[in-house]
Chains A and B, each alone.
Chain A
Amino acid sequence: MPKVIALALSVVLLVAIPPKLHSTNVFPYNYKIEELANGLRIVSIPLPNPNIISYYTVVRSGSRNEVEPGKSGFAHFFEHIMFKGTKQVPRASYDEFLTQLGAGTNGYTTDDFTCYFVVFAGRENLEKVVKTEADRFINLYYTEEMIKTEAPVIEGEYYSSASNPDRRLFELLRDTAFEKHSYKHTTLGFLKDIQDMPNQYEYSLLYKKRFYAPDNTILLVVGDFDHAQLMDLAKKYYGDWEKSNYILQTPSEPPQTRLKRAHYDWPSKTLARLTLGYHGPAYSDITLDKAALDLLAEISFSPSSPLYQKLVIQEQKCLSLGANFEDTRDPSLLTLSAIVKNDDDLPYVEGEILKELERIKNEPAPVRKLADIKANMKYSMANALGTTDGVAGTLAFYINLTADPGTLNKLFDLYEKVAPQDIQDMAKKYFKPVNSTIITLTGGKAK
């Protein structure tokens, strides 16, 4: 999760049954994976807590899939369209169904996937939910007029964060750091593309055909239900959903060859911002790169790190300091960010961050520190998995990456294997000046 630049990723946590910690398996629950003939994968985790079910549909299409010019933000836009109903269950009826159910429900879009969830009480409601959700994914129906009315809502969503400098900073970082890959834009998309969304009805049909298909979707169900019953219902209601067979080609990002810089002038007063982005590796539960870098982030930039203590607590130059090394399907950015109290201190804080990156290349991490980090990760994950919806929300993210919940335990096994030398090696490999993009933001005079 982004620590400093937080994209709103609304993950709900609900209900009960905290896991018992095992030394090896950080994900302690039994799960089953089955696949229908049409490619729809179903991950099922029945839990012995009464009454609550988290029903997640993970479509493995996010802003990464927006590879064509002018289509940035489309995955997120389509998330909105998915609430327009079907001929059998029009939008008003769908809303009424969810209202009667009293469900906690919504969708969210990330770089790599779009997730829809319905969290509800009462296992007797499962069939109704499967039937209604299957209907809307298979038989979604909307008109060009609906597209034109919904598009300005996205502009409104953009405006909701228009006064947030972190949003602008993040947009500028992505746009500057990437040349070709679709991670160049954020999930909301470029404003000019948002403003053109009313004209994108035809493209929306193509988008749906390509990506809203069983072979690009995972159903994740956690909570109070019976696995066999779920599978019967899934076969009954999702069985006729047609495969897409579409294979997405994301553009390769060419290696960066020079340090890039950009600056954003905020129109009124604000604390200054500094962010450094380095091109990093994609998520992997096999190769060590990303796992070693995750540990580096904690060693060098967590609140317990010497640099954080120096800049935030002792010298009080920064309001915050943090690392955000995202787990993504394609290589993305390793981001270091600070909110700086005085504009004049921006060069100093940048220098301190760069010094820390050099230090970590040359000094092995203390063994005790690595043990602390592993304990922190273990308890953090246990906390996150402490509720039914915590399990669903966390897993939705990981199954988007590999389509396999087992990846979580594999990742933690990798953390165990990382040695101090690996961290130094990865620091040398990725934290090179020519691989970096540095963005600053400072405020002007308030009106």
Chain B
Amino acid sequence: MRHPMKTYLLGIFLIGISVFFASCSGKVNPNKLTSELLPLDGNPLTSFRVLVKIGSANDPSGKEGLCQLAWSLLANGGSRTMTIKEITEKFYPMAASLSLSIDKEMAVFSGTIHKDNLEKYYAIFKEMLLDPGFREDDFNRLKTNQFNFLEKTLVNNMDEQFGKEILNLMLYEGHPYGHHEAGTVESVRGLTLDDVKAFYKEHFVQGNIVIGLAGGYPADFPAGIMADFGKLPEGFTPRLSLPPAHLPQALEFVIADKKTPATAISMGFPVSLTKANKDFFALWIAGSHFGEHRQHVSLLFQKIREERGQNYGDYAYIEHFIQGRDKFPAPNHARPQQYFSIWIRPLANSNRHFVIRQALRELKRLVEEGISQERFQLVRTYLLNYTKLYAQTLGERLGWQMDSHNYGHQDFLADVQNVLRKLTRDDVNRTIKKYLNFNNVSIAVITQDAEALKNDLVANTPSPIKYANPNMPKAVLDEDVVIQEFPLDVKADKVRIAPAAEFFQKTGLPAK
């Protein structure tokens, strides 16, 4: 049996939809529960999406990882009256689950269920969130999993993710975003069940919660949920007052040294805009042109992979990006502070210096030369069409609806259609100049012989590469001559090297 894709959320009827936004009607009391509803009559499925406006940035100092552990205990632990074993057994014939995704400032509990099982499912779903069991054995199991992930898996089994997380540490050192959602080895070791209970009591309150519901649920169903969750204490957690992220003042490197056949690279810097800003749409065109995630339209993909066969792919993002279904962005990772990044997928160690040069040179060209009229029109058309595929499942539509309101849009994807059509190439090039740069970039590298890379970077050692193809196009070889000597202003004191195993032991980067 090929197991169907249980984790994906499901379908929608596109006709005859009536949408209303309970959260948008009238004045919202910040102490009270709100909701996002998307009723779709006749749809046999209902998708739940309980968004909590609390994420890892709310972890108390010294207790990093607490939010993830607390919310995991709700999603993966028993309720007061049912053990997780009993819940699993009850969910099984319904092919049901309760999933959790967690980010810096929000978390989402979600599940999709067939109408045959709606009431049965909700009864369990409700109890898991509103009446958790907080059992010691569930706590120990999930804490150990979180600890093992930090201590073993993240730095040894997934270098691409490791690179992205080092970049996060670089951009947000000393900042509430500056630790992995799972915390650190040291902090997780110290977490207690009492910490979890206190965190739940403090933050799982009405004003922090948005009840999302989409699909063919009965008309009176939302009222019942609002009544159930309305029994939670009133109140809300004030939004965090975030310090600025770290603005690199040079090319700043952190190199994780480990034995590896391939080098993973992530680089970036903070940008002072989000989906809430008007400039977002113009910069989005620039980002898509430069590095649309896993798409041929990406310039970096074309230059590094297609022309030169260096690796599997090369992309760029103007905000934090998590891949959802297929290659589309997953909603509900909204943040008030964002960053621009470039992701270079693993490549042969021998070519690492060349590709670092190439990526930064392309970034310089983007900033200095902007986007051509031809590319502007092509990429705009692309985004106008591609974004029509973003929100198709019930969960996605609900998630985008929540993100829209979070960023102050009535309907962000509808705004895409309106705003993009009015933009000009000049708008895009203006935002590129305003938000992007190539001199001050944080660069995370996972590789072996880190000292050798440092020496090459600082000395600007030429970095020619060899091709299997003896007849590479002349234009590529001519450009290579420029790239391989492209000067980077790297100061020795801006290159930090640490053994891979030292990362995520404590908050922040390993000691200098």
B467 touches A148 (CB 8 A): yes
Q: Bits for A66-107, please: 1 = Cβ < 8 Å to B, else 0.
A: 000000000000000001000000010001101111111010
Residue A267 lies at the interface, judged by CB distance under 8 Å to chain B: yes
Q: Is the CB of A387 within 8 A of B393?
A: yes
The residue from A3, A101, A159, A271 contacting B385, defined by CB atoms under 8 A apart: A101
Contact (Cβ within 8 A) B13 A145:
no
> Which residues of A are found within 8 Å of B382, using beta-carbon distances?
99-100, 102
Contact B94 A151 (CB under 8 A): no
Knowing A21-B116, A375-B94, say if A271 contacts B148 (CB, 8 Å).
Answer: yes
Q: List chain B residues, Cβ under 8 A from A385.
A: 4
Pick from B144, B262, B328 the residue with the most CB of A within 10 Å.
B262
Find B326's partner among A10, A18, A21, A266 (CB 8 Å cutoff).
A10
Interface positions, chain B 14-50, Cβ under 8 Å from A, are: 14-15, 43-45
Q: How large is the interface on B (under 10, 10 to 19, 20 to 34, 35 or more residues)?
A: 35 or more
A310 to chain B minimum Cβ distance, whole angstroms, is 10
Q: Given contacts A18-B11, A327-B1, are A102 and B44 in contact (CB under 8 A)? A: no
Min Cβ gap B67→A in Å is 21
A269-B151, A325-B1, A372-B92 known; A163-B156 Cβ under 8 A: yes
In the complex formed, the residue of A with least CB distance to B346 is: A159
- Interface status of A254 (Cβ within 8 A of chain B): no
A250 within 8 A of B: no
The segment from B252-260, B265-273, B276-284 found at the interface with A is B252-260
Those of B306-356 within 8 Å (CB) of chain A: 306-312, 325-328, 345-348
Q: Which stretch, A131-139, A210-218, A301-309, A427-435, touches the partner chain B? A: A301-309
Interface size class, chain A: 35 or more
Which residues of chain A are near B8, meaning CB under 8 Å?
Answer: 13, 383-384, 390
- Determine whether the beta carbon of B10 is less than 8 Å from that of A149: no
Q: How far is the CA of A372 from the CA of B95 in the complex (A)?
A: 9
The interface bits of chain A over 131-161 (1 if a CB of B lies within 8 angstroms of the residue's CB, else 0) are 0000000000000010011111101110110
14 A-B pairs with C-beta separation under 8 A: A13-B5, A16-B12, A18-B11, A91-B306, A99-B382, A104-B327, A145-B469, A148-B469, A149-B469, A152-B348, A159-B346, A271-B153, A384-B8, A389-B392
The 9 closest A-B pairs by CB, nearest first: A102-B385, A384-B4, A148-B469, A159-B262, A386-B10, A156-B311, A379-B95, A446-B501, A12-B326
Q: Which residues of A contact B (CB under 8 A)?
A: 1, 3, 10-21, 49-52, 83, 91, 95-96, 98-104, 106, 119-122, 145, 148-153, 155-157, 159-160, 162-165, 198, 266-271, 291, 294, 297, 302-304, 309, 313-314, 316, 319, 325-327, 341, 371-373, 375-387, 389-390, 393-394, 397-398, 411, 443, 446-447
Further 10 A-B residue pairs, CB within 8 A, beyond A155-B348, A316-B140, A383-B8: A13-B393, A50-B15, A96-B378, A156-B348, A162-B159, A163-B346, A268-B258, A269-B155, A383-B45, A394-B4
- Residue numbers of B with Cβ under 8 A of A are 1-6, 8, 10-15, 43-45, 84-85, 88-89, 91-96, 112, 114, 116-117, 137, 140-141, 144-145, 148, 151-153, 155-160, 162, 257-262, 294-297, 305-312, 325-328, 345-348, 378-379, 381-389, 392-393, 467-472, 499-501
